[in-house]
A = this chain, B = another copy of it.
Amino acid sequence: MDSSRQLHLGAFMRPVSIHTGAWRYPGAYPDANFNFRHLRDFALRLEAAKFDAFFMADHLAVLNMPPDALKRSHTVTSFEPFTLLSALAGATEKIGLVATASTTFDEPFHIARRFASLDHLSGGRAGWNIVTTANPDAALNFGYESQMDHDARYERAREFYDVVTGLWDSFADDAFLWDVEQGIVFDPRRMHVLNHKGESFSVRGPLNIARPVQGWPVIVQAGASEAGRRLAAQTAEVIFGAEASLTGGKAFYADIHQRMAALGRDPRSLKILPAAFVVVGDTVADAQAKRAHLDSLVHYDSGIGSLNGMLDYDVSGYDPDGPLPDIPATNTSKSQQQRILDLARAEHLTIRQLAQKAGSYAGLAFVGTPQTIADEMEQWLTEEGSDGFNVMFPYLPGGLEDMVEQVVPELQRRGIFRRDYTGTTLRDHLGLARPENAFFQQK
């Protein structure tokens, strides 16, 4: 393997913590997820620590939980990604800004245009996390009776991607002349009219904005299903992974790289960054105690809501101290559902135990000292379990401060994380090439 490989670090910032007890932790800002001054401060600290990107998940509905669970969710009120990231673009200078946007409930012209605009406003720092929106309640907010089925969502996503990237290439990079003397703004021969007509979309184009600074904003994906992996191997430049163990991570890494090889893609053109929940302590025992205290702040009503959401099945009528019933296959995010089912099976957990894990965070976690956490991160990197991580903080601002003040310096000392940015765009940070325009060669 390439011994010069370094970690790439994203910060998972919507919600600012995935942990449903986070807002109740002693010293935490309860409203950290919905306070722009705090979010701006977090973005500036992450930039000072040279993180690759600030990453926003998204939901197109209030989470589908019963009121007794929902009322305990610190994420029920949240900023919309394009507006928040654009506001942060004005406050920061280097950090990448990755917004989640749905291919199921939006229009390719809007999405292409907003990302192009964010990329220009931020000097080339935009990334698009492509999601197909698993939450069935979202469909009800967009005129549908029920959610489109999983594979149909992915087929639509693939065509959506083709339209968006085609629209980004509406103008050659050198199309704009600003020739005041002749009164010519751009060369119309360097403008492409897409004229897309496909199964799901008819979009003429051109886009009414110049080609993005990065050519295309960075393409990010999270799907771990067969359809998700296929789409990612074809199109993703970053995968926001969900593997909870190094063994699983290595298998996923190998699988995606095999798929890319079969497609003739350069393996360096894709970075795999699993989500990692990071809890830092002075000792391992101290970190574990912090996590245990945090987990104790998850109310059962909240945990069961999270569990139902992940399973896409209501288990609240079953005995909390009994096992999970059989869960029918559903239309939801398969990776999330499978992770819970695997965990229940492997550790023989009751519904109550699973609920606390679901509300706490049941995925990959690094809980220890800066040294042990750096050890684990380095092992994932060197053994090709990942190219870095999308870090989730246990509570804010403390958990973020621990990461940037203690773990990042340790990673830098080991030479596996940058001490400064070497470029200005998100592509620069990730070591990704700028895509050529599909319709125009550079003159």
Q: Is A121 an interface residue (CB 8 A)?
A: yes
B90 touches A40 (CB 8 A): yes
A77 touches B142 (CB 8 A): no
Q: Is A158 an interface residue (CB 8 A)?
A: no
A185 touches B23 (CB 8 A): yes
Q: Is A428 an interface residue (CB 8 A)?
A: no
Partner of A121, one of B73, B84, B106, B120: B84
Give Cα A116 to B82, complex, Å. Answer: 12
B117 touches A76 (CB 8 A): no
Smallest CB separation, A92 vs chain B (Å): 10
B71 touches A141 (CB 8 A): no
- Are A87 and B121 also in contact (CB < 8 A) when A67-B188, A77-B176 are? yes
Partner of A204, one of B88, B121, B141: B141
Specify which chain B residues have a CB less than 8 angstroms from the CB of A34 in the assembled complex: 120, 210
- Are A187 and B71 also in contact (CB < 8 A) when A83-B86, A180-B30, A208-B59 are? yes
A184 touches B87 (CB 8 A): no
Specify which chain B residues have a CB less than 8 angstroms from the CB of A61 in the assembled complex: 204, 208
Chain A interface category by residue count: 35 or more
Smallest CB separation, A374 vs chain B (Å): 32
Specify which chain B residues have a CB less than 8 angstroms from the CB of A71 in the assembled complex: 184-188
Q: Is A31 an interface residue (CB 8 A)?
A: yes
Specify which chain B residues have a CB less than 8 angstroms from the CB of A209 in the assembled complex: 77-80
What is the 8 Å Cβ interface bit string for chain A, positions 13-46, against chain B (1 contact, 0 not)?
0000000000110000011001010001000000
Most buried by B among A31, A62, A299: A62
Q: Is A140 an interface residue (CB 8 A)?
A: yes
Give Cα A217 to B351, complex, Å. Answer: 44
- Are A87 and B84 also in contact (CB < 8 A) when A71-B187, A107-B105, A121-B79 are? no
Q: Is A118 an interface residue (CB 8 A)?
A: yes
Q: Is A389 an interface residue (CB 8 A)?
A: no
| Contacting residues of chain A (94-146) with chain B, CB-CB under 8 angstroms | 105-107, 109-110, 113-114, 116-118, 120-121, 137, 140-144
- Are A77 and B141 also in contact (CB < 8 A) when A71-B188, A90-B90, A183-B72 are? no
What is the 8 Å Cβ interface bit string for chain A, positions 197-234, against chain B (1 contact, 0 not)?
00001111111111000000000000000000000000
Give Cα A142 to B107, complex, Å. Answer: 7
Specify which chain B residues have a CB less than 8 angstroms from the CB of A36 in the assembled complex: 120-121
Smallest CB separation, A137 vs chain B (Å): 7
Q: Is A74 an interface residue (CB 8 A)?
A: yes
Smallest CB separation, A94 vs chain B (Å): 16
Smallest CB separation, A341 vs chain B (Å): 27
What is the 8 Å Cβ interface bit string for chain A, positions 168-184, against chain B (1 contact, 0 not)?
00010000101010011
Give Cα A110 to B86, complex, Å. Answer: 16
Smallest CB separation, A174 vs chain B (Å): 13
Specify which chain B residues have a CB less than 8 angstroms from the CB of A183 in the assembled complex: 24, 72, 297, 299, 302
- Are A171 and B77 also in contact (CB < 8 A) when A141-B204, A204-B137, A204-B141 are? yes
27 A-B pairs within 8 Å (CB atoms) are namely: A23-B178, A24-B183, A30-B180, A34-B120, A36-B120, A36-B121, A40-B90, A59-B208, A61-B204, A62-B206, A78-B209, A80-B113, A80-B114, A80-B209, A82-B86, A83-B114, A84-B117, A86-B86, A86-B87, A88-B90, A89-B90, A109-B141, A140-B202, A140-B203, A140-B204, A183-B299, A183-B302
The 4 A-B residue pairs with the shortest CB-CB distance in the complex, in nearest-first order: A86-B86, A67-B188, A80-B117, A90-B90
Q: Which residues of A contact B (CB under 8 A)?
A: 23-24, 30-31, 34, 36, 40, 59-62, 67-68, 70-74, 76-80, 82-91, 105-107, 109-110, 113-114, 116-118, 120-121, 137, 140-144, 171, 176, 178, 180, 183-188, 191, 201-210, 297, 299, 302
